[in-house]
Amino acid sequence: MSASGLSTPTLARFKRVLRERRALDAEEASTLAASMGDVLSARADGQADDEHDPEGPTLSFEWSRLDAVQREAAADLHAVDAALSRLADGTFGVCARCGRPIGIDRLNARPTAELCIDCARLISG
């Protein structure tokens, strides 16, 4: 029995879920990179002047939106990688703060969780 109390098949299931999520994140990241490249070249083509070019503000807005989505995707990728490395070293499902099992319900809802619900509440509250 591991410290997390999770069975080997359960751990294998999380590994599969996290790997699929990683693949999706990576795909999203490359789609985003392409969209951001489009915005950049649209800006360069139009020599966009945000003051006068009607397309300017739209492109700026689109850029901020893509940038925010990209940051989110990068953060998620990071969280997924961290969870996968915890799976590899046997600490997956163990609270990083108190060392108690995180609990299967929380892990099912949030496989990247590093903290048990009590510690997460303490930290966010």
Note the residues at the interface with Zn ion (CB under 5 A). Answer: 95, 97-98, 116, 119
Q: Which is closer to Zn ion, CB of 39 or CB of 116?
A: 116
Separation CA 71–CA 44 (nearest Å): 23
What's the closest the beta carbon of residue 102 comes to Zn ion, in angstroms? 7
What's the closest the beta carbon of residue 93 comes to Zn ion, in angstroms? 11
Q: Which is closer to Zn ion, CB of 18 or CB of 116?
A: 116
Please state whether 69 falls in left (phi above 0), alpha (psi between -120 and 50) or beta.
alpha
What's the closest the beta carbon of residue 87 comes to Zn ion, in angstroms? 18
In DSSP terms, 94 is beta-bridged to 101
Q: Which is closer to Zn ion, CB of 5 or CB of 56?
A: 5
Question: Which structure tokens are listed for 26?
Answer: 């990576």
Which strand (E) or helix (H) includes residue 44?
A: helix 8-46
